[in-house]
């Protein structure tokens, strides 16, 4: 066969988000609850972060359980069957197994086998990374429909006594279905990373450290006893962050990324109906609104107040809530941007389902 006879998948000109789903755990943790573990107050947490409550999943609810619930709602909203999916992408950093992927197990649960499936490890930018890849797969003709899920059970990876990040974090899942469209529905992705700041948000130890620690290669018996006396689960990796570094990076750099996404999509802030930023901190969100000079008519998602920071799940959760509370915004333009551990970032302008 000659090279000229090689066939390629037919390209599709337009894509869009066809449906969105969500899952919020029933357990609600208040600021008063958090203050049992750290020396703080409801007033301080509200002023510094905007958070009033956060959802936490019980022990018997897994990442895959939450992802399945959100995915089924998204599929129903999109009007397609799981068997029609050409790929399943799960953005998460809290699936407790290095392998197999959460996506492969989710695909089986949904009845989407043999769709290709893989996990994305991009923390709070994970959902936007998933949109970038799902959009590309549909454009390229590799898949007709792609499921993108952002899901986190961050409560499994926190030390409640840690003051740097634990009080911010919640659990949940959001999902969307991407498919072909008659007109443009997903703008170009602006995404990237800065690994030089990888220590700004990180796990406090690796699994290799856990192995060595458990085998007695690191800590002395005295050190272990001290950990027990302190009431810490000292062997288990938990999340920590350098708050000031993350705040400065998000405030000064992410508005630039958001503007690049607007420029790439060929729209202005005046064209937007909704702003869907990663729900990291209310002060970061408010500062980005100022820097982007968003008009008053733009609805700004502030799901963080009730949900906390849910990492990869935060943007689709905020989208779902926005459309539930403001259904007239369906079909309007939204700017979404995720940013976090890595440090990584991603943004797109999308038409809301």
Is the sign of the CA dihedral 129, 127, 104, 176 positive or negative?
A: negative
54: which strand partners? Answer: 29
Out of 55, 95, 281, 309, pick the active-site residue: 309
309 is an active site residue: yes
The token pair at 35 is: 């203050």
278 is an active site residue: yes
Where are any strands of DSSP class E within 204-300? 239-241, 274-277, 299-300
For 286, residues 6+ apart whose C-beta sits below 8 A from its C-beta are: none
169: which strand partners? Answer: 309
**Residue with tokens 């405030």, as numbered in its chain:** 251
Out of 55, 278, 281, 320, pick the active-site residue: 278
Please, how many CA atoms are within 13 Å of residue 329, restricted to the half-sphere of its CB? 24
CB 168 within 8 A of CB 241: no
For the CA atoms of 22, 121, 157, 224, the dihedral, rounded to the nearest 10 degrees, stands at 170
CB 77 within 8 A of CB 19: yes
CB 301 within 8 A of CB 279: yes
Out of 124, 128, 139, 320, pick the active-site residue: 124
Secondary structure of residue 192 in the 3-state scheme: strand
For 300, residues 6+ apart whose C-beta sits below 8 A from its C-beta are: 274, 275, 277, 285, 289, 294
Cis peptide before 247 (omega within 30 of 0): no
Q: Catalytic residue numbers? A: 124, 278, 309
């Amino acid at each position: 066969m000659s090279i000229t006879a090689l066939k390629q998948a037919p390209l599709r000109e337009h894509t869009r988000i066809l449906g969105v789903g969500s899952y919020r755990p029933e357990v609600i943790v208040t600021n008063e609850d958090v203050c049992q573990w750290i020396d703080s107050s409801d007033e301080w947490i509200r002023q510094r972060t905007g958070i009033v409550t956060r959802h936490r999943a019980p022990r018997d609810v897994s990442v895959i359980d939450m992802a399945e619930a959100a995915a089924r709602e998204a599929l129903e909203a999109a009007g397609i069957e799981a068997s029609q999916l050409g790929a399943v992408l799960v953005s998460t950093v809290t699936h407790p197994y290095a392998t197999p992927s959460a996506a492969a197990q989710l695909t089986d649960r949904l009845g989407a086998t043999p769709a290709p499936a893989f996990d994305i490890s991009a923390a709070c930018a994970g959902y936007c990374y998933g949109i970038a890849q799902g959009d590309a797969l549909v454009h390229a003709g590799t898949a007709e429909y792609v499921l993108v899920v952002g899901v986190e059970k961050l409560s499994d990876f926190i030390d409640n006594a840690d003051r740097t990040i634990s009080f911010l974090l919640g659990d949940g899942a959001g999902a969307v279905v991407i498919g072909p469209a008659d007109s443009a529905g997903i703008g170009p992705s602006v995404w990237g990373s800065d690994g030089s700041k990888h220590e700004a948000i990180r796990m406090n130890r690796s699994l290799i450290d856990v192995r060595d620690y458990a085998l007695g290669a690191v800590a002395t018996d005295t050190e272990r006893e001290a950990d027990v006396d302190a009431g810490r689960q000292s062997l288990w990796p938990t999340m920590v962050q350098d708050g000031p570094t993350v705040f400065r990076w998000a405030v000064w750099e992410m508005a630039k990324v958001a503007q690049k996404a607007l420029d790439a999509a060929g729209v202005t802030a005046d064209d937007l109906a909704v702003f869907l930023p990663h729900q990291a901190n209310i002060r970061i969100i408010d500062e980005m609104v100022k820097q982007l000079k968003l008009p008053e008519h733009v609805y700004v998602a502030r799901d963080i107040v009730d949900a906390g920071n849910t990492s990869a799940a935060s943007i689709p959760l905020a989208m779902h809530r926005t459309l539930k509370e403001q259904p007239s915004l369906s079909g309007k333009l939204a700017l979404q941007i995720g940013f976090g551990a890595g440090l990584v970032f991603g943004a797109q302008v999308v038409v809301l389902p």
